[in-house]
Amino acid sequence: MFLYKLEVQLENKNVVLVVMGDNDEQVMNEAEMHLSKYFVVPPVILEIALIEKKRANKGTAYVIES
C-alpha cells in the first residue's frame, strides 16, 4: 500500500487530495470518485497531478500548506 499526494486542478480552484492505494491507476480512479462525492455538484476536473508517493507505514504523513 502507498499514500499518494495529488494536486487536482478543477475548473474554478485547486485542491490537494491524499489517497491510499496499491497502484497509480487505482488511486486516480479513487480520486475522481472521492471528488464527485465531496462536492454537491460534481466538479469539472481539468488535471490530476501525482506530487508524492510514499509507502504506507505507521507514522507516514504529509504536510500540506494552504
Q: Residues 27-50: pLDDT tens digits?
A: 999 999 999 999 999 899 999 999
pTM of the model: 0.87
Thinking of the domain 2-55, which architecture would CATH place it in?
A: Roll (3.10)
Residue-range domain boundaries for the chain: 2-55
Residue with cell 462536492: 39
With b for 16 or more beta-carbon neighbours within 10 A and e for fewer, the 14-51 pattern comes to eeebbbebeeeeebbebbbeebeeeeeeebeeeebeee
What is the rounded average pLDDT of the residues 37-65?
Answer: 92
CA angle 22, 49, 41 (to 5 degrees): 95
